[in-house]
Chains A and B, each alone.
Chain A
Amino acid sequence: MASETTAGAIAPVTRDESGIWGFSSAQLAALGVLLIFLGVAPFFLYPVFLMKLLCFALFACAFNLLIGYVGLLSFGHAAYFGMGGYIAGYTAKAYGFTPELAVLTGAAVAGVQGWVFGWIAIRRQGIYFAMITLAMAQMIYFVCVQAPFTGGEDGIQAIPRGALFGSVSMASDMSMYWFVAGIFLAGFLMIHRIIHSPYGQVLKAIRENEPRATSLGYRTDDYKLVAFILSATLAGVAGGVKSLVFGIATLTDVHWSMSGEVVLMTLVGGLGTVFGPVVGAAVIVTMQNYLAEMGAWVTVIQGAIFVTVVLAFRRGIVGEIAHLFRVKL
């Protein structure tokens, strides 16, 4: 059966326009909108909701680095998100780590975990890769159920936000918001930088045609592994920040349904677009917020969105807009 390359709806590799810092003019405009939104939103919207949104947006961007630019569908990204959250929460609570140190520790552990799991998973491709990452994440879930430091079913509760660098208190939602927004922006720009580096070009080459990239002399497994580690680390950052924001780290964040949610966010926004995951995360988080009292129907709606997007508009929201106006977003 003929099959297009991974994620056939993804924009093909084009020569990068000579925009500023690798951004096309359309992307610059979108970035401007994003920056203004980040600056203005906390004065109009509930900061905790915004912080949740930004955590998931960063999580989805990290996930998109793999699916959108290397063509690897990881169905177990909750393992890195959740572990980042547990470690950051534990170190902040038990050892009194400052928030930036707690998040870094969580990210480092998630990165090491991504190293080991990525090393195992890249031995297979396509569907098998997805199944292996899912199985590995399920293993982490069971480990988290039993391990003493996670608090089992109760999770880690009353995690202190602490003071940034030991001096700036993060207790108020507003100061925490600027911390979260800063981390999100740094992560977002870092991913953009990775994609537009020579290394990122090789990743895209692997996505389009791995045997050819191999024949050109690239050790594709090494490239894929590094991308996996980067993605897992950033997912760990997102998870760590989330546990500090809410003061709680639970099994929900390592559960397979969280892995499904990040796939959904990225898919809705647009695989392989720079801004898609952000928009997708905003849509899904907002939806969950409004439908929270509907219980299990949220699952049904999420499933329906999955089905609709896969069948009807595989480019996602941002991908469709970009296609409509023939720009890169």
Chain B
Amino acid sequence: MLDFIENLLGIPAPLLFGQLLLGLINGAFYAMLSLGLAVIFGLLNIINFTHGAQFMMGAFVAWMLLAWGGLGYWWALLIAPLIVGATGVVIERLMISRLYKLDHLYGLLLTFGIGLMIEGVFRNEFGSSGLPYRIPAELSGAWDLGFMFMPVYRGWVVVFSLVICLATWIVIEKTRLGAYLRAATENAALVQAFGVNVPRMITLTYGAGVALAALAGVLAAPIYSVNPQMGTNLIIVVFAVVVIGGMGSILGSVITGFGLGIIEGLTKVFWPEASATVIFVIMAIVLLARPAGLFGRA
């Protein structure tokens, strides 16, 4: 089988599978981040430009918990999203909530500014070089899958993010809370008339979306070095992912995220020079063929 692949494609199988795995991991982050963006956009009608900075904050809070508080990875997985989500709640209450009656573009400009501030503060505090974060002992090592060595942590990231995406989907599509959320997305005034506290729901939704970004940040901390710029470049790619998928459907975001991660990984194998631009090219093609996005409603 392996020989067959190597003969057919002319590339070593470990390289192919290694890049596929990296692609899957990137896809996991694309999926989780675009999921958060879609949830926030659905209710607040703003694109959360701070999302990248909040992803970075998640990684940094994990690092701080370990370095300053002695709390390890598993605690960070729980606490960091809560802390960063709480800052999101404050940001929404203090600033974003003042813009709902204005053009949506102001929300984008505001969150961009907040993102700049957060990134600048962290760069002052921690420099740009990046801090290491060790893989927890339970997840270190690698499995021998026969055709490749699979680092346990990377497998964990893919599985865990799939679980989180699925859980988000269940909450939004199958629970009473999710029903309120979907109803408010369609018609906030009507839902409020039924006695639901829509402003609080909006605040908590923003907090939850931000917490999702922070959770992705904690997952990313042992893989990438923890540095202030880790979120910004990622979030621009995630914007392209969101445009490709359309923000209409939760499962659509997840499928698009993972799919594009894999495509990016494969591009690294077959045409490394194009790997940085392939997602943007796909975005252009999708816009020409289906302007609303693959899963979007026109």
Contacts and interface: CB of A to CB of B under 8 A. Distances in A.
Interface stretch (B1-9, B95-103, B212-220, B255-263): B95-103
Interface string A301-313: 1111111001100
Interface string A109-130: 0000000000011011011101
A99 B267 CA distance: 40
Q: Which secondary structure dominates where chain A touches chain B?
A: helix
A305 B121 contact: no
Nearest to A127: B47
Q: Give the interface size class of chain B.
A: 35 or more
A307 B99 CA distance: 11
B183 interface: no
A304 B45 CA distance: 23
B145 to A, nearest CB: 33
Interface in B259-287: 273, 276-277, 280-281, 283-284, 287
Interface stretch (A31-39, A224-232, A292-300): A292-300
A231 B23 CA distance: 37
Given A123-B287, A135-B280, A297 B103 contact: no
Contacts of A201: none
Contacts of A124: 243, 287, 291
B119 A299 contact: yes
A136 B240 CA distance: 9
Interface residues of A, number: 49
Contact of B105 (A73, A296, A305, A307): A73
Nearest to B189: A1
A295 B239 contact: no
Contacts of B118: 303
Interface in A273-329: 295-307, 310-311, 314
Contacts of B232: 256
A135 B280 CA distance: 6
Contacts of A6: 103, 105
Contacts of B281: 139
Nearest to A129: B105
Given A124-B287, A131-B243, A136 B112 contact: no
Nearest to B284: A120
A307 B103 contact: no
Contact of A300 (B105, B110, B120, B288): B120
B271 to A, nearest CB: 12
A3 B102 contact: yes
A59 B198 CA distance: 42
Given A1-B100, A4-B101, A300 B239 contact: no
Contacts of A146: 273, 276
A142 B277 contact: yes
Interface string B235-257: 01101101100000000000000
Contact of B243 (A2, A132, A296): A132
B114 interface: yes
Interface in A1-47: 1-8
A174 to B, nearest CB: 36
A131 B242 CA distance: 9
Nearest to A308: B113
B116 A143 contact: no
Contacts of A143: 277
A299 B120 contact: yes
Interface of B: 41, 45-47, 95, 98-106, 108-110, 112-121, 123-124, 188, 232, 236-237, 239-240, 242-243, 273, 276-277, 280-281, 283-284, 287-288, 291
26 contacts: A3-B101, A3-B103, A4-B101, A7-B105, A120-B284, A120-B287, A123-B287, A124-B287, A128-B243, A130-B108, A131-B240, A131-B242, A135-B239, A135-B243, A142-B276, A260-B112, A263-B112, A297-B124, A299-B117, A300-B116, A300-B117, A300-B120, A302-B113, A303-B119, A311-B98, A314-B102
Given A135-B237, A136-B284, A296-B124, 16 more contacts: A3-B102, A4-B102, A4-B103, A7-B103, A120-B288, A126-B105, A135-B236, A135-B283, A263-B109, A267-B109, A300-B120, A302-B113, A303-B113, A303-B114, A303-B117, A305-B113
Closest 4 CB pairs of A and B: A306-B113, A303-B116, A303-B117, A299-B120
